[in-house]
Structure 1
Amino acid sequence: MRKKSLLLSLFMMGAFAYAQESTSGLEISGSADAYWKYDFAKGENIGTYFASDHNSVSLGMLALGLKKTTGKASFVGELSFGPRGQYQSLLNGDGVGANESNSFNIQNLYVDYAFSDKFSMTAGFMGTFVGYEVISPASNFHYSTSYLFGAGPFQNAGIKGTYAFSDKVSLMAGIFNDWNEYKDLNGVSHFGAQLSLAPVDGLSIYANFLTGSSVGGEDNYSSGTIYDLVASYDVTEKFSLGLNAADYTFKSEGGYQGIALYPKFSVTDYAEIGVRGEYFAEKEVGGIEGDKYTSFTLTGKLTHGGLAFIPEFRFDSSDAKPFYKSDFVTPTKSASQFSLALVYSF
């Protein structure tokens, strides 16, 4: 009996040691968020992504990420649960077919191999390299999102290679599926590239390019060419400035142009205030001028540990009168909203 107990103890110790070894180096991260928003027209009026519910304590999403590196190879996987991921991100759970009843969204699922200190390759489903803002609320300063974010791609599945010429210059190039698709229905037909520059301390510049044809031909929304510029500069230890500018042209007709500025000031180590000023214009289609929008967002952020409390005021306007007054019948040129959000990151 004592021999059996000793053998069982040795087996349990071995299993525990193996489990420790097999999971060592596994990084677990994620975030959770919730918000309350009040639109002064008393309804859902500003049509950008996220923070859409009016006068409701609403869920964002729970994001869970895994990362592990073994030698030169690494893997990243990230799932999200909740309305922000399930219904407001692509691919989503309010469609038909395979996506009709899913309760989760794959944000990232890719592998990377570093052939050398300078060259690596990545393949899988990845958050897009285009644009300044991302799906995760923990990675954005502002809780609501820009028109540029909503108009561009969310994710790009594909394979890409990145070469670092120096600490200041690198180039990524790859082939990708249609925007926001796990699989390409018309064959891989998109090409993208990113030139990264860090000419001086505190300054980062990303020049992005993506072009291709999607299933459905030239009339498909993601059949076209986008030029995108992202930059950030730490002017001082407390003041920074971000920039996003983009031009997208459909293969058929139309597209959009836009620019957004992101000044941000750190009041203390735990309190920040920032502004997003944006101009967004839809291109002419069939001789009809597209709608144009201006948006001003004032955001504060108070942090303690992994928790961020984010009060935000936003004012949008357009001569096309795409918004509504409180009766939600009468069109108007402007809309405004106030929101409070909680984001916990780990």
Structure 2
Amino acid sequence: MKTIINTNYAKKIAFAVLALVSVFAIGQEEEEEKKFEFSGTVDAYYRANFNGLNKEVPVLDTGGVQTGVLLPTAPGTSFANDPGFALGMVNLIASYEGEKVGFVADLVFGPRGEDAVFGSPFGSPNIVNQLYVYWNVSESTTLTFGNFNTFLGYEVISPASNFNYSTSYMFSYGPFSHAGLKADFDLGNDWSAMLAILNPTDFTDVNPFGELSFGAQLGYSGQYLNFLYGKQGFNEVLDGADLVDTDVEALFQVDFTGGFNLSEDFFLGINATYQDTDGVGFYGAALYPQLTTSENFAIGLRGEYFATMEGFGNVAGIGADADGDANVFAVTLTGNAKVGDLTIIPEIRLDSASEEVFLNGDLEFNESLASFLLAAVYSF
């Protein structure tokens, strides 16, 4: 959730990519029809609080000099947190599928995209959400090499692939993306498996720590049990002329993601996760009931319980008690209305935390926050 400033450099890259895509698509149309694809999304939203600030408040020091702003109250989750009318992102995806090999180049522009790639830029603009090649070694084995979005969790970065527009706490503080090599296996009879060697989480351009993480997944008929393990920091630091061991502990996360079609029109999604780094971390669970009422409208609910350990709640924006623990229960009611390729998403959200962390209009802290959001997502 780190803010990055776009520059003309990023815009020039975008135009160059579009030009290359057009030339490539024309050249391939006759020779290899339907193997090259260009797709993406554009989204924007409006957000307002019922019982919190809806503006930025300048902060002055003792000399009357403005030193910063008191940010508007928002859930401590990713992406849809700005007041009033705000931008999501432009997502441009170019992919090529050959008989045995292929690639995906997934570029993002705008605030949502900047937040999504927060761990990757080092002194230069970064617009790469995913960039990987793959090889279908056999009918049952595929190798993927490069930068790809995480295999953990129910929600994803793309707003077109989520039912809710705002995101959950579990998604926001779990991994966004990985860089590395993974092998997917089709085991037959609806069983699947995946093994991966990865950079530390969200470091998709470079591995600054010299440590590797390991991922694994076991799936059956749309239900997935996911694992992630590895050190996420510097194991040694330079103190003068000496290297000093920092005793960095490894992160461990186990995650279940799945869902069931309870009827032709009713789906129930499920996510549960647990992340721990030497006693510091979080755990939670969420249900996603979704009812399709017509060809062009569906309504859904996300009910999430999220708890933190040893002060992690200060990072997650839900505070901490004397023992460093905290929790929040968030309920989000969302509608999806289809107008051709455009999806209109009205949303009402209630966050209720164990600590007083939500700022109201009187600059007093409360345990709860109620908000409204209206988003529009166009897919092409």
**TM-score under structure 2 length normalisation:** 0.79
Q: Does 1:42 align with 2:36?
A: no
Output the CA distance in 2 between the equivalents of 1:267 and 1:16.
Answer: 38
- Name the residue aligned to 1:192: 215
Task: Give the equivalent residue in structure 2 for 1:9.
Answer: none
Give, in angstroms, the shift of residue 106 of structure 1.
1.0
Q: By how many angstroms is 1:17 displaced?
A: 8.3
User: Measured at CA, do residues 73 and 296 of structure 1 come closer, stay the same or move farther in structure 2, by a change above 3 Å?
Assistant: same
Give the whole-Å Cα distance in 2 for the aligned partners of 1:219 and 1:306: 51
Deviations 1:35-73 (A, max 9, x none): 00111213332221121111x211100000011012200
Aligned equivalents of 1:16, 1:133: Cα separation in 2: 31
Q: Is the 8 A contact 1:253 1:285 kept in 2?
A: no
Matched, 1:122 2:150: no
Please list, as runs of the form range in 1=range in 2, the aligned pairs for 1:288-299 lying within 5 A after superposition.
288-299=323-334
Matches of 1:321 and 1:192, distance apart in 2: 36
- Of 292, 298, 305, which aligns to 1:266? 292
SS of the residue 2:172 aligns to: helix
Helix, strand or coil: the match of 2:294? coil
Letter in 1 for 2:359: Y
Alignment of 1:206-245 (within 5 A): 206-217=224-235, 223-245=250-272
Identity rate, percent = 37
Residue type at the aligned position of 1:320: E
Shift of 1:219: 7.8
Aligned residue in 2 for 1:336: 370
Deviations 1:199-220, CA, capped at 9 Å, x for gaps: xxxxx20100000012324787
SS at match of 1:84: helix
Alpha-carbon separation, structure 2, partners of 1:219 and 1:283: 20
TM-score by length of 1: 0.86
1:75 corresponds to which letter in structure 2? Answer: F
For residues 47 and 172 of structure 1, the distance between their equivalents in structure 2, rounded to whole angstroms, comes to 31
Amino acid of the structure 2 residue aligned with 1:233? F
Any gaps of 5 or more consecutive residues in structure 1? 1-14, 199-203
Residue 135 of structure 1 aligns to a residue in which SS? coil
Cα separation, 2, equivalents of 1:38 and 1:16: 42
Distance apart, 1:188 and its partner CA: 4.6
Structure 1 residues 253 and 16 mapped into 2: Cα distance closer, same or farther (>3 Å)? Answer: closer
Please give the alpha-carbon distance, in whole angstroms, between the structure 1 residues aligned to 2:233 and 2:86. 35
Q: Which residue of 2 aligns with 1:57?
A: 85
Choose the corresponding residue for 1:159, options 181, 191, 199.
181
Q: Secondary structure at the match of 2:175?
A: coil
Residue 98 of structure 1 pairs with residue 123 of structure 2: yes
SS of corresponding position for 1:98: coil
Match of 1:283 among 292, 300, 309: 309
Q: CA deviation at 1:277?
A: 0.2
Match of 1:70 in 2: 98
1:26 to 18, 36, 46: 36
Partner of 1:134: 156
Q: Does 1:79 align with 2:131?
A: no
Aligned pairs, number: 317
Give me the whole-angstrom Cα distance separating, in 2, the residues matched to 1:92 and 1:194. 23
